[in-house]
Amino acid sequence: MKRDETNDPLNSLKFDSAGLIPTIVQDAATGEVLMVAWMNADALRRTLETGEAHYWSRSRRKLWRKGEESGNVQRLCEIRTDCDKDTLLLRIVQVGGAACHTGYRSCFSWVLKDGAWAEDGVKVFDPKEKYGAE
């Protein structure tokens, strides 16, 4: 689908000074928050074009497609923005069951209990098996 650049809805989004926008990723069926990532305009356009989530890695300083190594892709259902248009919410279908590179279903798999972080998530895969030794 060709976009009219003058009326492109991406133009109304407020990217930060680095050209990034925080992106919350939510399971479309359950509402579970799976991860938070960053997108630049290119990542957002590629997500819209392919129907699979793409993000900007601040640590690796590159664009990446979720699941390009693990196979755990995220199929786009819907994109929302907040009232300030400075944060995105992607509602997705998580293929492969895990959103977190550490092998958990959700990146939010630790809970603060009695002053310490305790594991409280569903482990879907062993990252050493998917990515090799670190």
| pLDDT tens per residue, range 64-82 | 999 999 999 999 999 999 9
What's the chain's average pLDDT? 93
Query: Measured between alpha carbons, how far is 111 from 81 in angstroms, rounded to an integer?
Result: 27
Q: Region 100-109: what's the mean pLDDT?
A: 95
pLDDT for res 2: 47
Q: How many CA atoms lie within 13 A of 117 on its CB side?
A: 4
45-69 tens-digit pLDDT: 999 999 999 999 999 999 999 999 9
Q: Which CATH number fits domain 5-124: 3.40.1400.10, 3.40.50.620, 3.40.50.1000, 3.10.20.810?
A: 3.10.20.810
